[in-house]
Amino acid sequence: MDDGSLALALVLWCAAVGLIALAVSSVPASVLAGALLVGCVATLLVNVALAARKRWTSRLGA
């Protein structure tokens, strides 16, 4: 888990929300904004958790 995977996941999430906004015009902007925020925070937390687990595993294995 490095910076690259975080950047890629964030770009993909932004693109997905953007596509939903284009495809379903009835979704309110506030809902899309909320989904964007929650998705970005979740992506960050998952990335941090995976990076921490990987580093601890390598430390314990060494």
Partner 1 sequence: MTWVELAPTVGAAFLASLVECVEAATIVLAVGTVRGWKSAFAGTGLALLALVVLVVALGPALAQLPEQALQLFVGLLLLLFGMRWLRKAILRGAGIIPLHDEDAVFRSETANLKLARATERWGVDPIAMATAFKGVWPRSSACSWTTAPWLWRSCCGARQSA
List interacting residues with partner 1 (CB under 8 A). Answer: 3, 6-7, 10-11, 14, 40, 43-44, 47-48, 51-52, 55-56
41 — phi, psi (to 5°)?
-65, -40
Separation of alpha carbons 11 and 40, rounded Å: 9
- Nearest approach in angstroms of CB 58 to partner 1 is 11
Structural element, H or E, at residue 18: helix 3-23
Closest CB 4 distance from partner 1, rounded Å: 10
What's the closest the beta carbon of residue 43 comes to partner 1, in angstroms? 8
